[in-house]
Homo-oligomer: A and B are copies of this chain.
Amino acid sequence: MGLAIRPLAATDRDRMAEALRACAVFTSEEVRVALEMIDQGIAGGPDGDYWLLMADVDGCGVGYVCVGPTPLTRSTWHLYWICVHPSAQGRGVGRCLQAAAEAFVIARGGERLLLETSSTPVYAAARAFYERAGYAVVGRVTDFYRPGDDCIMYCKAFTRSSRASHQS
């Protein structure tokens, strides 16, 4: 399997829309917002709010990650979306996208990456994924998304050594 990470291009948009819809975990409203952020990321200049990295497997786009600097902070970034087409899941693509997002943030001076996910069973694999990747729970809001569906906030701080290893 040949895996490559590159910036997401306008020509990738339709394929990623299909990937978002194929991931049954996202609601139609979530897909709509994710596509808005893709459009803003594609349009954005050097100080954009959203940055998009694409994963190709054997030359074919299978997933992407969206990060951006958190407003009003000096060096905190948010991971907004990570999506891998179900047909390409289970092969480490998500892990590579996550690592690439962290390297991107560190390269731009970011010192921590925050993300929010759901407490529901369908997100158990996502939570385990973030915990394995070194993310710690920093907050929880009961019934945030809807009754019975809490928001769990995760954060990973980049130490000097992790910043150095990404730069070397």
Contact = CB atoms under 8 A, between A and B. Distances in A.
Interface of A: 27, 29-30, 33, 70-76, 111-112, 114, 138-147, 153, 155, 157
A140 B143 contact: no
A76 to B, nearest CB: 5
Contacts of A111: 143
A143 B146 CA distance: 29
Given A76-B144, A144-B76, A33 B139 contact: no
Contact of A74 (B71, B72, B142, B146): B146
A33 B76 CA distance: 17
Given A139-B141, A140-B138, A140-B139, A75 B146 contact: yes
Given A72-B145, A153-B153, 12 more contacts: A70-B144, A73-B144, A74-B146, A114-B144, A138-B140, A138-B141, A138-B142, A139-B139, A139-B140, A139-B141, A139-B153, A143-B157
Given A138-B139, A139-B139, A153-B139, A145 B71 contact: no
B72 A29 contact: yes
A43 to B, nearest CB: 18
Contact of A114 (B75, B112, B141): B141
Q: Which 3 A-B pairs have the closest CB atoms?
A: A139-B139, A74-B146, A138-B141
Given A112-B143, A141-B138, A143-B111, A72 B33 contact: yes
A111 B144 CA distance: 9
